[in-house]
Chain A
Amino acid sequence: MTPILPSKFDTSFPVIQVSGLTVYRGQYAAVENVSFDLLPGTSSAIVGPNGSGKSTLVQAILDLIPHTSGSVQIFGRPIQKLGKLRHEIGYMPQNFIFDRSFPISVAELVRLGWVKTDRAMSQNAALSQALQRVNATHLRHQAIGTLSGGELKRVLLAYCLVVPRKLLILDEAFAEVDVQGEADFYSLLDELRREESWTLLQVSHDLDMVGRHCDQVLCLNRSLICSGQPETALSPQNLLQTYGSTFSRYHHQH
């Protein structure tokens, strides 16, 4: 039986293909000869110590900074040629809201993520549904400056999912979700992945979360030290190689 695909994309064709990617920051190779594929509906995490090039890698994938050599394809095309497929990408960096005093309400912020596509609902319907999915309907009219850290992160997730996407890239955007929010948060991400075959790529420091929710781990320290399923990729030996000898396994403190 032929599976009914949710879209025009082949389920086995990589969403992201990175091959031999090298990025120089001035004279310094911040990312060196990195290659990997992300398959549709999978969840991958980039882990590594501070300064190992995680954010640089993400920014180079999204063409926010130029790369020196190698290539990146998203949905089988170079990012400059994505056209409207660009709207299928959600990107959330750590400092998206740099200034918490920015005069903008939750509803106004979430609406910014909306674009008119064939698959998208009307703006108002999409806004209501996105807020409902992250349990933030009651925050609709609040200013972002009045939200708690956990609330803000749920609202940012609503921003990401206000239109259906194929790929969500989180660069430590949700590093400090509050404890009770955390389980809901990751189960919502899992749900998006299973039901709408979103592909997830996140930069994370939380190896416990990575072990529970990711299919693929990319251990980065300028070059790719190891990659694979969490059980094998996060072996003590690989962690030692990625983080160096001073590393003791990071546990999330609350």
Chain B
Amino acid sequence: MQDFLTLLGYPFMQRAIAAGVLMGVLCGFLGSFVALRQLSFFSHAVGHAALVGIAMGVLLQVDPTWTLLPFTLIFGIAVLYLIDQTDLWSDSILNIVLSGALAIGVILTSFIRGYRGNLMGVLFGDILAVNLTDIGLTLLLLIASVSILLATLRQQILLTLNQSVAKVQGVAVQFHRYLFVVLLSLTVAVAIKAVGILLVNAFLVIPASTAKLLSHQFKPYLIGSVAIGAISSLVGMIVSGTLNFPSGPSIVLVQFCLFLIVFGLIKLTAAWVKV
């Protein structure tokens, strides 16, 4: 613990904790809609396709953040467009574009000369390496997401429940679907640097699912998802600092444990009520 307090004194650790908590909040918030709109495989595909964006950055010798953001954005919109324009199931489309993008990503990576060691960083992320730009981007996305989605919350819930009814009531369904995918794709891109391609989806799926187990009303569900996201990040960073575990996986482990605990408690309470 003493070690951890010393660690807290370092600016990189402070940035990492700030980034982790901000991402927990942002992903918990968007994740609550992702879970109900069955978009988790969508964010999974966007996350994996991001490899192309990162490899492009390395090959063009620019900061991968600036190739990653536009790439995931265009990829996300293109995928939604494909889903709308064909009568294939969306998981087939997602599998197709995910495989295609991964193939391109791996081939591009093979062109990278010399040191390829940071590939592990791409897969698992490095929250200790986030800089102020990353934190600024996360904050910007958080402000945009919260203000857009909360200002139109009733329309958002309605179009999540039933798109036809939303359309008859005058909700601009297509506009909101694409807007959400833009926010979601950018969030995935920003979070990848901290937690990596493989674990980014945990941030979107686990806190929201845990909140769904706990609450059967929308507002408590939304708040719960955000709170669980934030707490998991904070506790995860403490675990990571104290035990010297990798940070991203530590946060995901905390999210997973919270999910199991909530599940167990609900089962126990149900059994208790029966007795």
Contacts and interface: CB of A to CB of B under 8 A. Distances in A.
B36, B157, B168, B170: which has the most chain A beta carbons within 10 Å?
A: B168
Contacts of A144: 216
Contact of B164 (A64, A87, A89): A64
Q: A interface, how many residues as a size bin?
A: 20 to 34
Contacts of B170: 86-87
A160 B161 CA distance: 15
Interface stretch (B53-61, B89-97, B217-225): B217-225
Given A86-B168, A111-B154, A103 B161 contact: no
B164 A112 contact: no
Interface string A90-102: 0111011111011
A161 B161 CA distance: 18
Interface string B191-216: 00000000000000000000110011
Contact of A64 (B160, B161, B168): B168
B217 A104 contact: yes
A124 interface: no
A64 B212 contact: no
A246 B229 CA distance: 58
Q: What is the predominant secondary structure among interface residues of chain B facing chain A?
A: helix
B36 A102 contact: yes
Given A62-B168, A64-B168, A112 B217 contact: no
A91 B158 contact: no
Contact of A103 (B154, B167, B221): B221
Given A103-B36, A103-B215, A104-B216, 13 more contacts: A64-B164, A87-B170, A91-B165, A95-B162, A96-B161, A98-B161, A98-B162, A103-B216, A103-B218, A104-B157, A104-B217, A108-B218, A112-B157
Interface of B: 36, 154, 157-158, 160-162, 164-165, 167-170, 211-212, 215-221
Listed from nearest, the 7 A-B pairs whose CB atoms lie closest are A143-B216, A103-B221, A105-B217, A91-B168, A86-B170, A104-B218, A112-B158
